[in-house]
Amino acid sequence: MEQRILDSYRLWRENAVEDPDLQQELGRIEGREEEIADRFYRELEFGTGGLRGVIGAGENRMNIYTVRRATQGLANYLREKYSQASAAVSYDSRIKSALFAREAARVLAGNGITVYLFPELMPTPVLSYAVRSCRCQAGIMVTASHNPSKYNGYKCYGADGCQMTDHDAGEVTDHIRRIDLFSGVKTADFDAAKAEGRIRFIDDSLTEDFLRQVEAQQVTPGICRETPLNVIYTPLNGTGNKPVREILRRIGVQTLEVVPEQEKPDGSFPTCPYPNPEIRQVFECALKMAESSHPDLLLATDPDCDRMGIAVPCDGEYRLMTGNEVGCLLLNYLLSRRKAAGTLPDHPVVVKTIVTSDLSARIAEKYGCEVREVLTGFKYIGEQIGLLEKEGRPERYVFGFEESYGYLAGSYVRDKDGVVASMLVCEMAAYYKSQGKTLPAVLEELYREHGVFRHSLINKAFEGAQGMAAMQRLMSSLRDNPPKEIAGLRVVRFADYLNSRETDLASGATTDIDLPPSNVLSFGLEGGAGFIIRPSGTEPKIKTYLTAAGQDAAAAQELTARLTEAGNALLNG
Confidence (pLDDT) at 456: 86
Can you give the length of the chain in residues?
573
Identify the three-state secondary structure at position 298: strand
Identify the three-state secondary structure at position 331: helix
Q: In what order do the strands lie in the sheet with 51-54?
A: 51-54, 151-158, 138-142, 86-91, 114-117, 199-201
- Around Cβ 15, how many Cβ atoms within 10 Å? 12
Give CA angle at 461 (460, 464), nearest 5°: 155
Tell whether pTM > 0.85: yes
Please state, in angstroms and rounded to a whole number, the distance separating the CA atoms of residues 372 and 351.
5
Residue type, position 308, single letter: M
Task: Please enumerate in sequence order all residues whose Cβ is within 8 A of that of 42, keeping only pairs 6 or more positions apart, or say none.
Answer: 59, 60, 465
Task: Please enumerate in sequence order all residues whose Cβ is within 8 A of that of 89, keeping only pairs 6 or more positions apart, or say none.
Answer: 101, 104, 105, 108, 115, 116, 117, 118, 127, 139, 140, 141, 142
Confidence (pLDDT) at 93: 98
Confidence (pLDDT) at 555: 86
Query: Is there a contact between 266 and 239 (Cβ–Cβ < 8 Å)?
Result: no
Please state, in angstroms and rounded to a whole number, the distance separating the CA atoms of residues 568 and 544.
9
- Around Cβ 18, how many Cβ atoms within 10 Å? 12
Give me the phi and psi of 158, to 5 degrees please.
Answer: -95, 180
Please state, in angstroms and rounded to a whole number, the distance separating the CA atoms of residues 397 and 385.
6
Confidence (pLDDT) at 537: 64
Mean pLDDT, the chain cut into blocks of 10 residues (573 residues total)? 90 96 96 94 85 96 98 98 97 98 98 98 98 98 95 96 90 95 97 98 98 98 97 98 98 97 97 94 97 97 98 96 97 98 96 93 96 92 95 96 96 97 98 98 95 88 79 90 91 94 90 90 89 80 88 86 89 77
Signed CA dihedral, 94, 160, 187, 29: sign only: positive
Signed CA dihedral, 94, 98, 100, 101: sign only: positive
Please state, in angstroms and rounded to a whole number, the distance separating the CA atoms of residues 112 and 552.
62
Confidence (pLDDT) at 205: 98
Confidence (pLDDT) at 571: 83
- Around Cβ 393, how many Cβ atoms within 10 Å? 14
Confidence (pLDDT) at 573: 67
- Around Cβ 488, how many Cβ atoms within 10 Å? 11
Please state, in angstroms and rounded to a whole number, the distance separating the CA atoms of residues 442 and 333.
10
Signed CA dihedral, 512, 514, 515, 517: sign only: positive
| Crossing angle for the helix pair 3-15 and 33-40, to the nearest 10 degrees | 80
Which are the catalytic amino acids?
A: 145
Strands 349-353 and 397-402: parallel
Give me the phi and psi of 25, to 5 degrees please.
Answer: -65, -45
What are the beta bridge partners of residue 371? 350
